[in-house]
Amino acid sequence: MSLTIDLKGKTALITGATGQLGRVMVHTFAQCGANVVIHFMNNSKHAEVLLNQIRSMGVEGCVVQGDVGEPDDVWRMKSEIEQKMALPDIAVTNAVSQIFPWQSVLDEEVEDYDNQFKSCVMQNVLIAKAFVPNMIQKGWGRFVGINTEVSIQTLETQSAYAAGKKGMDGVLRVLAREVGPNGITVNQVAPGWTITHRNRDKMIEAQQAYASGVPLRRRGEAQEVANVVAFLSSDLASFITGAFVPVNGGNTFVGI
C-alpha cells in the first residue's frame, strides 16, 4: 500500500514564503494539491514568480504582504485573503526576522530581543487569532510552526533567537491543548542548518565542521524539512498534536 500526502481542497497560508525554505514549502504544498496563500514582507517580485509557478501546477493562490508581528497588518492580510480566496485551513508560520551577527547576552542589543519576540511569539499569536477561529468553525485545521534546533542547543550567542523561539514553543504547546477538541492539530518542525538554493549558488553546501557533529554526518535539505511540514498538515498526521519535531539528522534530541 502506498501513502500519498493529499491536500486537495485545502488552502495553506505560508508566512515568509519568499525565503529559502518558504519557496520550497510553497512548491511542496502545491505538489500535494493545496491552494497556497503566499505571504511576503519585502520580496514582491519573487512572490509573484511563486504565484505564477503554482498556478502552472494547477492550483490557485494569492499574494499578501505584511509584517506578521503587527496586528493591523495581520488583520489586513486576513481581509485581503477573504476577498481573493478561501481562508486557510492550514497555517505555516515560517517568517522570521534575521539578526546578524549573533552576540553574547552582554553584547546583544536590547532591541534584538524585542525584534525576536515580535517575529517568533507575536507572529504565532496573531496568525492564530486571525485564522484559527475559521478552522474551529470547520472542525478541521492544521497549524505548523517552524521552530529551530537552536531552541534545544541554547549555545553561546544564541540568546535572542533562542528566547524568541522558546517563547513560540510555549505559545504553540498551549494552543495545541486549547484547540485540540475542535479537530485542530498544532505542531512544530525544528530544522537544523539546512542547505538552500542560496548555499548551492555560492557553492557552500559542505560545512564539515557542522556536519561532523551530526549523527547522519550531513546537513539537511530544505525539501526534507518541507516534506515533514506537508505530512503534519495532512490527514496522515491526524493524531499528532503538540509535537516538536527536529529535522536535523539527529543533531539534537528531544527527550521526554
Annotated active-site positions, please? 161
Label each residue of 68-137 as H, E or C.
Answer: CCCHHHHHHHHHHHHHHCCCCCEEEECCCCCCCCCCCCCCCCHHHHHHHHHHHHHHHHHHHHHHHHHHHH
- What cell does 133 get? 477561529
| Residues 6 or more apart whose Cβ sits within 8 Å of residue 165 | 116, 120, 147, 148, 150, 151
The greatest distance separating any two alpha carbons of the chain, rounded to the nearest whole angstrom, comes to: 56
- Which of 65, 8, 3 lies closest to 40, judged by CA? 65
Cα–Cα distance between 201 and 199 in angstroms, integer? 5
255: left (phi over 0), alpha (psi -120 to 50) or beta: beta
